[in-house]
Structure formats: C-alpha cells, structure tokens
Amino acid sequence: MSDLDPETRKTLRPRTRLVYAGRKPEEQFGYVNTPIYRGSTVLSPTAADLRRGDARFTYGTEGTPTTEALETAWSELAGAAGTVLVPTGLAAIALALMTALSAGDHLLVTDSAYRPTRRFCDGYLKRMNVETEYYDPTLGAGVATLMRPNTRAILVEAPGSQTFEMQDVPAIADVAHAHGACVIMDNTWATPLFFPPHARGVDLAIEAGTKYLSGHSDLMLGLVSANEAWNGRLRETYGLFAMNAGPEDCFLALRGLRTLELRLREAERQGLAMANWFMTRPEVKDVLHPALPHDPGHAIWKRDFLGSSGLFSVILHPVSQAAVDAFLDSLQLFGMGYSWGGYESLVIPFDCSRYRTATHWSPGGPGLRFQIGLEDVADLQADLERAFAVMVEAAGK
C-alpha cells in the first residue's frame, strides 16, 4: 500500500478522509492505529542534538505521536492551518479567548453562548481587565454597531446553546475582519463536517471532543483549530500554558474520528425524526431546531450548514414545575445529564431568563433540551408518551 499523495488527498470525500487522516502506519510498524504514547521525557542521541532542540518530539507537553496524529487529522478535517488539544471543551474556549485577548480589550459574545463561557468571561476575563459585552445572536452584520476601537474578538456559537438561534457567521466575520478583530466560534454542535468554520471566515474554531468526536461519553477533550493568520499565536499561547490533553483521551478521539460522519448522519436522522414527532404533540408549544422549516434561523442553516445533529430543544405549553419533574422522573430511556453527543439519549430542563442580558428569554413555557441517541425511535417515542401521560395527570392534581 502506497502513501496518499497530496493531490489525491484533496479529492477525497469526507468519509474517506476520516479513515485516513492523521494515520502513518509505516511509522508504527504497520499497525493501523497510532498507539497511546505515555511519557514526559524524550531522549536526545547526542549533546549536539540536545542543544539544537529541533527534534520532532522534545518533551511530553509539546506533543507525542498520538497527539500529532489527532492534531493533523483534525486540521485536515477543519480546513485549518493547525490544531491544539486541551483537556476539556471549556479549556478550549479559555485558550482561544486568551490567544486573542489582552488586558484592556473589548470582547463581544453572543447572548446564546454556552453558560460556562459566560462564567469564564464574567469571572476570569473581568479580573484580567477584559470587558465582555453580550449581543443579540440574530444581529448578523448589525454587530458593526457594537464595535469599538479596542474590540479584539467576537465569539459566536451557532446554533446557540440550549436556545438554538442561528448566527450569520460569514456576515459577522466580515465585520470583525474589517475592524481587525478575531472571530472565535464554538462549533461543537455541527463539527467541521457540517460547518467548515475556516471556510466561513472563522479564525479560531472550538470543538468539545467530549461530544460527537468521542461518541461514547467516555472521554474529556477540547480542540482549537486556527487559520494561517492565527495559528502561530495559538500555538505560542498553548505552549505557555502547557494544558495538553491526556494520551488515552486522544487515542479514543482518534478512534471516534473514523466513524464520525456515520454517527453524525445517524444523529441527524434520529434527531429530525424526533423533532418532527414533538411537533405533533399537544403538550409541545415549539421545537427549537434550525433544520426545521418553521425555525427562524432555517434559511441561514440551509445556506451555511451541511447537516444537523441530534441536539435540540422543546418548549412545553405552560405547566407546573411539579408536572415537569414528574415527566422527567418517569422517563426510562432518557437520562438526565449535562453532556451530549454520545450513543445514549438525554434530557435536561433549562431556563435562560436568569442570565441572558442582551436579549429577553420568555418562550411561554418550560424548556427541555434533548440529546437523541442511537436507540430505536419508536422506543424513545413510547417512553415519552408514557412520561407525557404522567405529566398531564400531575398537572391536573
């Protein structure tokens, strides 16, 4: 078997690229998968080599064959100049922000961002004298009205966490770049397979590998990929913090990478089937899913995205908290947990009204975020039907 030449690699479709990206069996004694390299110390053969410090690997925090394989594969998938790996998705968010920002800077963050992102901005960045301003996620090019001379970055997330608003990322990127600002995107929902971030104007793209890249709810990992303009600064910041990911997690992520498209396509199919089913339920007021034609962000999703995942939200008609709790507690196939992207179905209640600041969140009923796993759709629907019956009964008491 000969190596893939660069020209052939460019012609490969995503599913094929996922199989071969980052793999070098000839360097691993012919083994298909790059093994787990655990280690801190890397020996130099001579004193001259030690002084030069230009070996491929010099110390554990600067990379191993395992981390290099995943970084290379992810950069190819994302269309990036480079990628770094960190222990968690939140660490990836923190690293991207610290790469782009300095004391005295102004940061714009979508009001629909992942809540731990808000905590990091309102806590750590505030202590570092970085001012965070939240904006309406539907602004698009209108974000230009919020730009200041010291605005150094705009953080987007599409769709929004829990509330699933779409953002016009290319339009926001045009505004940011016209003002010399960096565009940072949390792209975990779509992954680069369904939203190629750097082709859409994103400078630093964040992925929680804990989610779909893992696919099995058994690892913690974050990835930050960069375009050519920001790759050097990202790598420098990463080196200063040395917040490298664990080798076992990187190995599991590489394994998950090979089947990522297959699982994402199934997640999309399952998710849409369930979202459409929820639309028929009398207990449901609305379904927040950008791939549904009625969704306010559907046109942007259809223009910029290549698919959707299995995560979306449902707004119930007004009902008591006790009734919602009865619904959740009676579910047998939906666990209650704060992650997603694995093979199991999950649900959590949410209420953004307590912390959104740039927009008013008042959907007219309780919110539930669903992660649709790989169970049979008919079984999931039967489980929900039973739980809805319990909720209606509890509401009538």
Return the closest-CA partner of residue 223 out of 47, 72, 338: 72
Beta strands at 222-226 and 204-208: parallel, antiparallel or unpaired = antiparallel
Mean pLDDT of all residues in 83-102: 98
Same domain, 191 and 149: yes
Same-domain status, 114 and 65:
yes
Among the candidates 241, 257, 273, a domain finishes at 257
Whether residues 347 and 291 fall in one domain: yes
Residue 13 is predicted with a pLDDT of 85
187 and 327 in a single domain? The answer is no
Q: Residue 25 pLDDT more than 90?
A: no
The enclosing domain of 60 has a CATH number of 3.40.640.10
DSSP state of 299: H
The verdict on residue 32 lying in a domain is yes
Q: What is the average per-residue pLDDT within 1-19? A: 78
- What pLDDT score was predicted for residue 341? 96
Query: Per-residue DSSP letters for 218-260?
Result: ----EEEEE-HHHHHHHHHHHHHHT-PPPHHHHHHHHHHHTTH
Residues 374 and 252 placed together within one structural domain of the fold: no
What pLDDT is stored for residue 2 in this prediction? 61
pLDDT confidence of residue 14: 83
The two tokens of residue 133 are 């301003």
Q: Please report the pLDDT score of residue 17 as a whole number.
A: 84
How many CB atoms sit inside 10 A of residue 343's CB? 14
**Whole-number pLDDT of residue 3:** 72
> Which residues face 155 on adjacent strands?
109, 184
Give me the number of domains the chain comprises: 2
Q: Alpha helix (H) ranges present in 53-88? A: 65-78
Q: Are residues 326 and 225 in the same domain?
A: no
* Model confidence band, residue 15 (pLDDT cutoffs 50, 70, 90): confident
Rg (CA), the chain: 22
Segment 303-351, tens digit of pLDDT: 999 999 999 999 999 999 999 999 999 999 999 999 999 999 999 999 9
pLDDT in tens, 260-275: 999 999 999 999 999 9
Whether 159 shows a pLDDT value over 90: the answer reads yes
Q: Are residues 126 and 196 in the same domain?
A: yes
Please indicate, yes or no, whether residues 103 and 228 belong to a single structural domain of this protein.
yes
- In contact, 329 and 342? CB cutoff 8 Å: no
What is the reported pLDDT for 349? 97
Find out whether the peptide bond into 159 is cis, omega within 30 degrees of 0: yes
Percent of the chain with pLDDT over 90: 87
239 lies in the same domain as 274: no
In a domain, 148, yes or no: yes
In the chain the first and final C-alpha atoms are separated, in Å, by 70
Q: Which of 257, 291, 308 marks a domain boundary? A: 257
- 1 found inside a domain: no
- 369-391 confidence digits (pLDDT tens): 999 999 999 999 999 999 999 99
Could you tell me how far CA 105 lies from the centroid of its own chain?
A: 25
Residue numbers of the domain that contains 295: 260-396
Tokens 């040395």, residue located? 242
**Co-location of 20 and 72 in the same domain:** yes
Residue 300: CATH number of its domain: 3.90.1150.10
Residue 237 and residue 222 in one domain? yes
Residue at a domain's end among 230, 257, 284? 257
Domain assignment of residue 302, yes or no: yes
- Examine the pLDDT at 80 and tell me if it is beyond 80: yes
Average pLDDT over residues 107-117: 97
- Residue-wise pLDDT for 206-249, tens only, equals 999 999 999 999 999 999 999 999 999 999 999 999 999 999 99
pLDDT surpassing 60 at residue 1 = no
Closest CA to 351 of 172, 174, 163, 204: 163
Task: Give me the chain's average pLDDT, please.
Answer: 95
pLDDT score, position 31: 81
Of 55-59, 101-105, 156-160, 324-328, the least confident: 55-59
Whether residues 266 and 391 share a domain: the answer is: yes
